[in-house]
Structure 1
Amino acid sequence: MKIALFGATGRVGQQLLRLLLANDCTVKALVRNPESLTEQDGLEIQNGDVLEEYAVANTIKGTDVVMSTLGTDKNNVLSTSSPTIIVAMEQENITRLITTGTAGILNARHQPEYFRFETNESKRKNTAAAEDHAKAYLQLQQSNLDWTIACPTYLPDGEATNEFRTEKNMLPVDGKQITTGDTALFLLHLLSTDEYTKTRVGLAY
């Protein structure tokens, strides 16, 4: 399986890249600084920015699945790049998109008509990142793609344990954290199941 990967140099992205290559996938990874990745068998490094249409289209071309562990920034990189990724996938007739979000865009358990970041279930005072994630989620909702958004809660660095909980569209009850390793492991798992298609998935221990 050939994967187009965005966010390969991030905390989750690095672990996901390692898992993909270890599981016989080939990967085209778009990065702004090619020297930030080590050349290795199965990895094709693309030089460019996710905000550049040509770079995104070139990375997606010839792949089977698109995966993204991109974070956000003050320039709303997620909601800005999401339409570009959607269009490039449609042009290549690729339907499967696996990406990461934030637990803030899951439904609030006691007010499910709201995102968590819009209620007191979320402890974060600054909602800018969650707002960008929410915009990207709504863009995917309106697309014809078979998307899944993995939404981890507090995300410390750490190895995979393969012992964590998931819940569609909500954070598992009393979920406090999940490591970058287990988040990457769940993303890998999504390649072999359609159980979570067109849904957000809360991740926590």
Structure 2
Amino acid sequence: MNICILGGTGRVGRELAARALEAGHAVTMLARDPQRVALTDERLRVCAGSACDPVALRAAMEGADVVLSALSTDGGSVLSESAPLIVNAMQKAGIERIIAIGTAGILNSRAEPGLLRYQSSESKRTLTRAAEEHHAFYRTLANSGLAWTIVCPTYLPDGEYTGVYRAERDYLPEDGVRISVPDTAEFAFRQIDSMLYANARVGLAY
């Protein structure tokens, strides 16, 4: 399988790339700074460019079967700006499946039905800019016609791989307080071969 990875130099993105290569897949990584890509493998292709550049996106997605996005808010509007460009590039390339890493803030609120967690009393954050960016990304995918899944981890320390965690469609598992980067990457990677959570957000926690 040919896998396109966006945000591959971040914590989760690096884990996704390593898992994909270990599983024998061909990987194309789009990176603004290719020198930050620490992995070396004959099956790894690195494209220089930004997810907000439609030309770079088309080049990175050429020949891909699936897209994995671990893009972060990057302190700005990367997610909201790149989302429609990613959808457009996927549609032109004939790619239907995308698995993205989001945030637990865009899951449904249990305390206040009709709101997302970041909009409700469940959120402990005073600033909502990052969650709003993830929300914009989610809205774009939800209206794209693609087969999308957004993996929404709660507090995300580097931690260790355990392989034991809880996942719930559209909600954060009750009393979930954290999930490690390796476990988040494993769950997201497993969604390539599963449509169980197609067109859904997935809350992830221990």
Q: TM-score, normalised by structure 2?
A: 0.97
Query: What code does the residue aligned with 2:41 have?
Result: Q
CA apart distance, 1:39: 2.7
User: Equivalent residue for 2:19?
Assistant: 19
Q: Given that residues 27 and 44 in structure 2 are in contact (C-alpha distance below 8 angstroms), is that contact kept between their aligned partners in structure 1?
A: yes
Asked if 1:201 corresponds to 2:202, the answer is yes
Query: What code does the residue aligned with 1:151 have?
Result: C
User: Equivalent residue for 1:164?
Assistant: 165
CA apart distance, 1:180: 0.3
Q: Whole-Å Cα distance in 2 between the matches of residues 196 and 112 of structure 1?
A: 21
CA apart distance, 1:86: 0.2
User: Percent identity between the aligned chains?
Assistant: 44
Q: Whole-Å Cα distance in 2 between the matches of residues 139 and 62 of structure 1?
A: 23
Secondary structure at the aligned position of 1:201 is classed as: strand
Q: Whole-Å Cα distance in 2 between the matches of residues 52 and 96 of structure 1?
A: 20
CA apart distance, 1:5: 0.4
Secondary structure at the aligned position of 1:178 is classed as: coil
Q: Whole-Å Cα distance in 1 between the matches of residues 155 and 42 of structure 2?
A: 33
Query: What code does the residue aligned with 2:203 have?
Result: G
Q: Whole-Å Cα distance in 2 between the matches of residues 73 and 6 of structure 1?
A: 13
Query: What code does the residue aligned with 1:160 have?
Result: Y
In structure 1, the gaps of 5 or more residues are none
Asked if 1:52 corresponds to 2:70, the answer is no
User: Equivalent residue for 1:134?
Assistant: 135
Q: Whole-Å Cα distance in 2 between the matches of residues 183 and 112 of structure 1?
A: 26
User: Equivalent residue for 2:33?
Assistant: 33
Q: Whole-Å Cα distance in 2 between the matches of residues 75 and 124 of structure 1?
A: 17
Asked if 1:97 corresponds to 2:98, the answer is yes
After the TM superposition, list the runs of 4 or more consecutive aligned residues in structure 1 that deviate by more than 6 angstroms: none
Q: Whole-Å Cα distance in 2 between the matches of residues 179 and 125 of structure 1?
A: 24
Of 36-45 and 124-133, the range deviating more from structure 2: 36-45
Of 70-79 and 21-30, the range deviating more from structure 2: 70-79
User: Equivalent residue for 2:88?
Assistant: 87
Q: Whole-Å Cα distance in 2 between the matches of residues 41 and 120 of structure 1?
A: 49
In structure 2, the gaps of 5 or more residues are none
- Superposition CA RMSD, Å: 0.9
